[in-house]
Amino acid sequence: MAVNKVLKGARNMHITALVKRTYGRMVDYLVQRGTHIVRTYIVDRTRFEVEDGFNLRRHRNGYVWSLRLDNKTCECGRFQTFKYPCDHAIAACMHQSLDYWSLVDPVYTLQSILDAYQGQWYPIGNDLNMPPREGDRIVPDPSTARAKGRPRSTRIRNEMDLTEPQSSRRSVSLQR
């Protein structure tokens, strides 16, 4: 979610009011985003249909996703890709009082990480002592390189980006 959307209408507020408003809007957003409607399709609690709650961007109900816990797949694709439960899988597990931590791939366990680094490591040494590389050399395409200077902004500006008119009041400095 864009920060501009959270802060919309909060300009020129006292800092305490600004923090409270930001906190309240974020809570509302996360509560609405975190709601799911879960439907169980098999008695053994492995197939579900999960509907996202109200979508604030589209201003209508969210998408409906098909989920299988037995083979750890969801139509959103995140469950299979990242090998840990997506928000739909977590919603289905919570709906059925199942432990969603059991669905996390073992590669994310501490033991797996320790196993990856427990082998013997040897120093590489000086680059000059390395044997020459065999095979084709990969050369980047110069036509895809970014031009010098700061990249041009493609952000869509809104009313919060407009500068406020300067106050006609002069600041008074106290001299001692």
Same domain, 94 and 106: yes
- Residues 23, 60, single domain; the answer is no
Q: Is residue 156 situated within a structural domain?
A: no
Quote the pLDDT of residue 137: 84
Assigned token pair, 37? 């409607």
Domain identity same for 29 and 44: no
Instruction: Answer with the one of 63, 84, 117 that is the final residue of a domain.
Output: 117
Residues 60, 28, single domain; the answer is no
Residue pLDDT tens, the chain, 176 long: 566 666 666 667 788 888 888 888 778 777 766 678 888 887 788 899 998 876 656 666 678 899 999 999 999 999 999 999 998 999 899 888 999 999 999 999 899 989 988 888 888 888 888 888 888 888 888 888 888 888 877 777 777 776 655 555 555 555 55
Q: How many domains does the chain have?
A: 2
By residue range, what is the domain housing residue 25? 1-33
Asked if residue 46 and residue 26 are part of one domain, the reply reads: no
**86 and 55 share a domain?**
yes
Is the same domain home to 105 and 42?
yes
Determine the pLDDT at residue 79: 95
Which ranges of the chain would DSSP assign to H, the alpha helix?
A: 3-7, 15-33, 78-82, 87-95, 110-117
pTM: 0.53
Q: What is the phi/psi pair of residue 38, to 5°?
A: -110, 130
Answer yes or no: do 3 and 70 share one domain.
Answer: no
Distance from C-alpha of 117 to C-alpha of 26, rounded to nearest angstrom: 40
Rounded Cα distance between 22 and 8, Å, is 9
Instruction: Please give the pLDDT value at position 57.
Output: 62
Q: Which of 79, 101, 117 is the last residue of a domain?
A: 117
Cα–Cα–Cα angle for 79, 82, 84, rounded to 5 degrees: 60
E strand spans, the chain: 36-40, 47-52, 54-55, 60-61, 64-68, 73-74
Q: Let me know whether 1 and 56 are in one domain.
A: no
Count of beta carbons in the 10 Å neighbourhood of residue 67:
25
Tell me which residue of 6, 12, 39, 47 sits closest to 25, measured CA to CA.
6
> Residue 88 falls within a domain, yes or no?
yes
Q: What is the DSSP letter of 1?
A: -
Q: Is 70 found in the same domain as 7?
A: no
Same domain, 51 and 109: yes
Of the residues 80, 99, 117, the one at which a domain ends: 117
Residue 143 lies in a domain: no
**Antiparallel, parallel or unpaired: β 47-52 and 36-40:** antiparallel
Residues 7 and 71 in one domain: no
Distance from C-alpha of 40 to C-alpha of 47, rounded to nearest angstrom: 6
Structure tokens at 149: 């200077």
Q: What pLDDT sits at residue 143?
A: 87
